[in-house]
Amino acid sequence: MSVNRDQVMTRLSYLLGEETVPTSGINARQGFIQDALDEIYRSHEWEWAKTTATTALTSNVATLASGIGLDLLVDIREVVSGANDDKVYTRISYEESDNFEQGTYKYWLDTSMDNPVVNTKEADATLTYRYSQMAPQINASVTTPFPSANVVALGALKYLRQAENPFADVSQEEQIFRARLEEYIANENRNKPRRTRSRQSTQSHYTGAV
């Protein structure tokens, strides 16, 4: 199920006691809906918001998709056929970049541009990376996979109340929004697949261990 802005606008009108959505003076409401959706995306590492892409590592540098930040990047690796053969990269800080040699699969990010850049000492390869997407700019045709128009509307409602009165106590609106949002977070956590452990890890034995 996906949700568009028109559906959220309808729910927000109902929360405000309106039978229909106004046809004018709604720019602020639309902006607050987007603010609420942005907040929802930041609140949890949603599985439905993750996507996988590839990029070429050339001369120790690889460029990622636009808008990926440090908090959105989940995994970088060289995919190798066979079990337990992927070369998984570990993020380090720039200050640590001189502490590791090629073959250790470390990387640091340059996020000063719209497209973040991976820096590493590894040889040329194809990198597969997984990241959490930012909230889309929803409208009548652009939707979000987040399944509840009502929760987005509840988030927008608190922003609307603050705009109406900067000194208003919106703690009740915040509490209701958070409670409903936590229901969806808890539901996703329950349905997440458990990470499969290898025979080596369950026996506390790893290749090269003595």
In tens, the pLDDT along 78-118 reads 999 988 999 999 999 999 999 999 999 999 998 887 889 99
List the end-to-end C-alpha distance of the chain, in Å, as a whole number: 51
pLDDT digits (tens, 9 = 90+) for 193-202: 666 554 444 4
Burial 170-208 (b: 16+ CB within 10 A, else e): beebbebbbeebeebeeeeeeeeeeeeeeeeeeeeeeee
Give this prediction's pTM.
Answer: 0.82
